[in-house]
């Protein structure tokens, strides 16, 4: 697949996006067991089990271990006939709340989150999905799974609707850590390139470093240092470095991967989501404004649904934790069945492709090369 050259492909449509997101569907048939934290989401376990059921109906090759209050989960699972024989329930009475401190949550042994992570640690499942507290999920994953050799700070990568032919850009870190020095940003570039290659099918992804301007003299000291490190590593990392990019390039087509620290990335992500939602709501109001505009809305229904699908954050639900010995997909806390199912699909594809091992191999070879280089 070569989606690299924008002149070869028209601007992305929802169909393209589905194609790309389903690229690893070629791996269907690869049996995968996913470990699901069923308790952490804002909508409770019912929404999560409904999402699992939706995924199970679409993909015969996936089974589940789900973690939480066994009595509650048994009742929920019974409601979905298609889950018969495909779900194992693990009782875990503790629930990590959304406002619990990560340092506290990671010490509790009885939580559904910890139980879900341990199933991957023990080799019973190949990837974890949780809608729970992000900080707690990262802290517990780091303690239980451990970091890949050579990675200092793991990162969370998200997919962002964009003007690129593949339909999405990768941005990281969007919230694993509020700090990042130049070497961390270099590792984010390596890991982001690996994710874009395996997740979006881009042979040689274009990487940009997020800054307040594109001129070389702009920005904070650590960003200028990172620029030098990333430029040097482009060959080994298998990516092209395109220089500094600005906020407007995140949904643009200048680069495929946007590298930044977790503070800035998290705020950019939520600003983008909030702005898209504002414009969408204003659009709905505009169509309700006059009788004529209501008729127009009816006529344009298919096109508007197409637009809605294109910018629907539930379709790309799932931040991926990069830099750990195991694949962890963090779904939105408020995800409904559609959102949970999207996160499960992503987890399945990454697990089936052996992404976690590929990423570790790439980071190791880069570290070895840097050693030789010195």
Q: Which residues of this chain interact with its own copies, rule CB under 8 A?
A: 11, 99, 101, 161-163, 175, 178-179, 210, 212, 215, 217, 219-220, 246-252, 260, 262-264, 266-283, 285-287, 289-290, 292-293, 295-300, 302-304, 306-307, 310-311
In the complex, the smallest distance separating the C-beta of residue 353 from its own copies, rounded to whole angstroms, is 29
Distance between CA atoms of 348 and 267, rounded to whole angstroms? 28
Q: Are 31 and 125 in contact (CB under 8 A)?
A: no
In the complex, the smallest distance separating the C-beta of residue 226 from its own copies, rounded to whole angstroms, is 14
In the complex, the smallest distance separating the C-beta of residue 60 from its own copies, rounded to whole angstroms, is 34
Q: Are 210 and 245 in contact (CB under 8 A)?
A: yes
Q: How do beta strands 87-91 and 62-68 pair?
A: parallel
Closer to its own copies by Cβ: residue 75 or 306:
306
In the complex, the smallest distance separating the C-beta of residue 134 from its own copies, rounded to whole angstroms, is 9
Structure tokens that stand for 78 in this block: 């019974």
Distance between CA atoms of 29 and 66, rounded to whole angstroms? 21
Q: Which of 244, 206, 169 is nearest to 4 (CA)?
A: 206
Q: Are 116 and 34 in contact (CB under 8 A)?
A: no
Q: Are 55 and 83 in contact (CB under 8 A)?
A: no
Distance between CA atoms of 189 and 239, rounded to whole angstroms? 9
In the complex, the smallest distance separating the C-beta of residue 106 from its own copies, rounded to whole angstroms, is 14
Closer to its own copies by Cβ: residue 37 or 249:
249
Closer to its own copies by Cβ: residue 9 or 263:
263
Closer to its own copies by Cβ: residue 181 or 246:
246
Closer to its own copies by Cβ: residue 19 or 163:
163
- Which residue in this structure is represented by tokens 């620029």? 227
In the complex, the smallest distance separating the C-beta of residue 246 from its own copies, rounded to whole angstroms, is 5
- State the sign of the Cα–Cα–Cα–Cα dihedral 78, 81, 85, 88: negative
Please report how many Cα atoms fall inside a 13 Å half-sphere around the Cα of residue 356, on the Cβ side: 25
In the complex, the smallest distance separating the C-beta of residue 212 from its own copies, rounded to whole angstroms, is 4
Closer to its own copies by Cβ: residue 88 or 336:
336
Structure tokens that stand for 90 in this block: 């693990």
In terms of Cβ atoms closer than 10 Å to its own Cβ (0-12, 13-18, 19+), residue 121 is middle
Closer to its own copies by Cβ: residue 99 or 373:
99
- Which residue in this structure is represented by tokens 């301007």? 213
In the complex, the smallest distance separating the C-beta of residue 276 from its own copies, rounded to whole angstroms, is 5
The separation between the first and the last C-alpha atoms of the chain, rounded to the nearest angstrom, is 36
Bridge partners of residue 63, in order along the sequence? 33
Closer to its own copies by Cβ: residue 44 or 263:
263
In the complex, the smallest distance separating the C-beta of residue 302 from its own copies, rounded to whole angstroms, is 7
Closer to its own copies by Cβ: residue 69 or 184:
184
Distance between CA atoms of 202 and 239, rounded to whole angstroms? 9
């Amino acid at each position: 697949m070569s989606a690299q050259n924008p002149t070869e492909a028209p601007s992305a449509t929802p169909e393209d996006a589905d194609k790309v997101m389903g690229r690893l569907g070629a791996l269907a048939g690869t049996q995968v067991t996913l470990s699901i934290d069923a308790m952490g989401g804002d909508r409770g376990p019912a929404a999560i089990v409904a999402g699992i059921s939706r995924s199970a109906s679409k993909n015969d090759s996936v089974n589940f271990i789900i973690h939480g209050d066994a009595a509650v989960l048994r009742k929920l699972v019974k409601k979905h006939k298609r889950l018969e024989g495909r779900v194992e329930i693990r009782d875990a009475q503790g629930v990590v709340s959304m406002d619990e401190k990560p340092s506290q949550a990671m010490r509790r042994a009885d939580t559904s989150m910890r139980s879900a992570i341990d199933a991957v640690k023990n080799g019973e499942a190949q990837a974890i999905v949780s809608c729970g507290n992000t900080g707690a999920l990262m802290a517990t994953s780091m303690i239980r799974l451990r970091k890949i050799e050579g990675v200092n700070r793991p990162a969370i990568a998200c997919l962002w609707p964009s003007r690129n032919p593949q339909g999405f850009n990768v941005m990281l870190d969007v919230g694993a850590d509020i700090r990042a020095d130049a070497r961390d940003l270099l590792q984010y570039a390596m890991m982001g390139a690996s994710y874009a290659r395996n997740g979006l099918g881009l042979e040689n992804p274009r990487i940009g470093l997020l800054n307040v301007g594109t001129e070389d003299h702009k920005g904070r000291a650590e960003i200028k240092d990172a620029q030098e490190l990333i430029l040097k590593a482009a060959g080994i990392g298998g990516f092209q470095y395109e220089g500094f990019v600005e906020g407007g390039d995140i949904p643009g087509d200048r680069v495929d991967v946007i590298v930044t620290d977790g503070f800035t990335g998290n705020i950019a992500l939520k600003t983008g989501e909030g702005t898209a939602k504002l414009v969408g709501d204003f659009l709905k109001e505009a169509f309700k404004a006059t009788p004529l505009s209501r008729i127009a809305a009816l006529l344009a229904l298919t096109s508007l649904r197409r637009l809605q699908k294109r910018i629907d954050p539930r379709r790309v639900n799932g931040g991926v934790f990069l830099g750990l010995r195991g694949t962890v997909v963090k779904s939105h806390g408020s995800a409904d069945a559609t959102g949970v199912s999207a996160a499960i699909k992503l987890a399945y594809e990454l697990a089936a492709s052996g992404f976690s091992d590929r990423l570790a191999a790439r980071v190791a070879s880069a570290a070895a090369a840097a050693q030789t280089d010195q």
